[in-house]
Each structure stands twice: as structure tokens, then as C-alpha cells.
Amino acid sequence: MKCALIGLGEVGQIYAAALLDAGHEIIGYDPFITTAPPGAVLAQSAAEAAREADMVLVLTGAGAAPKVAEECLPVMKPGAGYADLTSSSPKTMEELGSTAGEANFIDVAILGPVIAQGAKTPLMASGRGAQDFAALLHSVGASVQIVDGGPGSAMAHKLLRSVFTKGLASVVIEAVRAGAAAGLEPWIREEISKTLAGDGQATIDRFLTGTAKHAVRRAAEMRSTGGYLEDLGVPHEMADASASAMERMAIDNRMTAG
């Protein structure tokens, strides 16, 4: 397949090398890079790279996504794929997809660190042409989950997942650092492990029902927790955020009851 890669930074170089090794033809463009990856052709503009491509992979920062789409989409062949792998918001993906014309706009969410996992990093895709994109990335060993919905759906799935995964990571880091400062790191690690290893659905249900029901008491407890972490010299953004969230739940409960 003839692929255009827009953005030849570290991630772009990884995908370029993998696609070339899989036998695909690569033409790339990056305004800040003047040397093509070995085996690839370097275009003079994004539009030039996209014009004859069967699949365009946009690997720029999210801020450049609208400009790249504006330049590439109008010149692409009918039925060609335009895969936006930036971290643009679901709304932006939807808006860009509406301008695709006869090209197939594919919203792609990257579900892991490409720098660490390479071109085999799991992906999620939505939009017309997602199957073609998945076939291309399968050729380099990547797992691509296709989700229902148009452009924006894949990124919506990713960001909803990030509420949990990034939030959980921040909470665990704060708890372990506090445990270390208190001389109780092995104990808090064991407590975290037991919670994560339990019945996931039951834990979710317990959080959903118990937190709102006991919001007033738990908010006060988390304010005390923040004070304790302050005494330990440990940052406590997550404890403070939890207290604020529970205080808001308590207000919501009063308004609902009233």
C-alpha cells in the first residue's frame, strides 16, 4: 500500500520503519525534517505526500491536525483513507471528519506508549475506512480494535478510559509516596493490590453506591487525609480532589432530597 506519513518525529519514524519493513511504500512530510527515513521518499508538502496515497497517517501534535486536514483532504483520491492519530478531542475529530469529502476519515486512538511498544502498540479506530486502516496496521503486528460510530468515537473511548487509568495511576502514586513517607509502604502496596485484584464489577458498584451515600463523612475524611499528607511533606492533589468531589456529591444529595 502507498502510505503518506505526515509528521516524522520519533513516533513517525517508528511507523515509517515498520511499514517499510512490511513492504509498503512510504512518502513522508514534516516541515522540520529534511532527511527521509531510509527507504522512504520525502515530499515538499503535506498535500504532495497525500495526493496519491492510499492511506494517510497523521502523526503530528493535536494542534496541527486541523491545518493538516485542510491541506490534505481536498487533494486525496476518492476512497483513500485519512487516519488521524493525533490526540485531538472527540469534537475536533468529528468536525474534521465532516470535511473529508470523498476520502475516508478514520479517527485513531493510540492505547499505549509507542516509544516503548513500537508499531505494535494497540490502537482503536472508528469511521469509514477503519477496516482498511486495521488491515494496514495488522501488517506490522498492531492490534486494532474497531468501534462503532463515526470520527470521534475512538477518541471518546480512549478519553473515557483515561479518566480511570490516568486517575488511578495518580491515586496509586500519591498513596505509595505517602506510605513511604510514613514508613508503611509495604502495607499500603498490599492494600492497593487487594483492591485491584478483587471482583471488578462488585468494586465498581460499591464505589457508585457507597461513595454518594456516605459523601459527607468521606469528604471530611479526605480533608483530614490531605492534612496528614501535608504533615508528611507529600503532595496531596488527589486527596484534595476526592474531598472536593465528595463535597459536591453531598450537595447534590441534599438538593435531590429537598
Q: What residues are labeled active site?
A: 158
Residues facing 105 on adjacent strands? 82
Give the number of residues written for the chain: 258
83, 97 in Cβ contact below 8 A? no
CA angle 144, 150, 153 (to 5 degrees): 60
- Lookup result for grid cell 478531542: 89
Q: Which amino acid, 46?
A: A
The single-letter DSSP state of residue 152 is T
Yes or no: say if 127 and 97 are a contact pair by the CB < 8 Å rule: yes
Residue holding cell 496509586?
Answer: 172
Rg of the chain (C-alpha set): 23
DSSP 3-state of 241? helix
Q: Retrieve residue 95's grid coordinates.
A: 468536525
Task: Report the number of secondary-structure helices (H) and strands (E) in the chain.
Answer: 11, 8
Query: How far is 43 from 50, CA to CA, in rounded Å?
Result: 9
Q: How far apart are CA 224 and CA 40, in angstroms?
A: 59
Quick check: helix, strand or coil at residue 198?
coil
